[in-house]
Amino acid sequence: KAGVTQTPRYLIKTRGQQVTLSCSPISGHRSVSWYQQTPGQGLQFLFEYFSETQRNKGNFPGRFSGRQFSNSRSEMNVSTLELGDSALYLCASSLATENEQFFGPGTRLTVL
Amino acid sequence: AQKVTQAQTEISVVEKEDVTLDCVYETRDTTYYLFWYKQPPSGELVFLIRRNSFDEQNEISGRYSWNFQKSTSSFNFTITASQVVDSAVYFCALSGMFSGGYNKLIFGAGTRLAVHP
């Protein structure tokens, strides 16, 4: 069974631009969660989508948004990029709730 | 408050030594889940174990073992006879309804383990 895939793996943007990251969950998994990992703040939860609906949201500004499609694939978007948005963005999928979450390889975003 | 504390920032051992990574958590939930993940240099978080709050039975999987003690709010992870391939950052995590939902993981800061030949 294929694991969680994330594209692109690396991305370089400049301040003020916007970016879209993509995540394809494990086949059959309906929940997709996003996390941001930085050296200073560690791993922080961004949001969770389940059956195309945002079910949970972390404490991030409105510049961070996401969506989920009918095939469970998810995208997250960051608008008006700031230097502090440079991070590893990890996506995790799980069957539903109260199940193990499996992570993808991440997208490393650098904002210049 | 829901919180996970991994007090050990870095641990360095020589191959074949046993090593224990500590994890202490705080939660208001009566039903919650605890996790351990491994993050090798490649960056991907590798799932190791999930334990629910009603299951205090210790678990062993090969060289890995986990000791869950509700009385001390701890979920420690031991690697027996460590190997160089065990070098990674290890994260302990917690989820529960008061944490924001079972799929919202609250992570500790991680423990960087270096195993030297």
Q: Which residue of B has its CA nearest to A99?
A: B103
Mean pLDDT value across chain A: 95
CA separation for the pair A38, A111 (Å, rounded): 13
pLDDT digits (tens, 9 = 90+) for B7-63: 999 999 999 999 999 999 999 888 899 999 999 998 899 999 999 999 888 888 899
pLDDT for res A1: 66
Contact indicator for B11, B112 with CB cutoff of 8 Å: yes
**CB within 8 Å: B33 and A94:** no
Task: Return the structure tokens found at B101.
Answer: 């939902």
**CB within 8 Å: A98 and B109:** no
Of A71, A47, A73, A42, the residue nearest A58 (C-alpha): A47
The better pLDDT of the pair A76, B96 is held by A76
Residues 65-84 on B with a CB inside 8 Å of A are none
Q: Residue A46: what residue type?
A: L
Residues 6+ apart with CB under 8 A from A61: none
Min mean pLDDT across A10-19, A25-34, A98-107, B95-104 is at B95-104
Find the angle CA(B75)-CA(B78)-CA(B79) to the nearest 5 degrees. Answer: 150
Residue pointed to by tokens 């996506």? A91
The 8-class DSSP code of residue B73 comes to: T
Residue pointed to by tokens 């997709």? A32
How near does any CA of chain B get to the CA of A87, in Å?
11
A36 touches chain B (CB under 8 A): no
Mean pLDDT value across chain B: 93
A56 vs B45, B46, B101: nearest CB: B101
Task: Return the structure tokens found at B104.
Answer: 């919202």
pLDDT digits (tens, 9 = 90+) for A51-90: 999 998 999 999 999 999 999 999 999 999 999 999 999 9
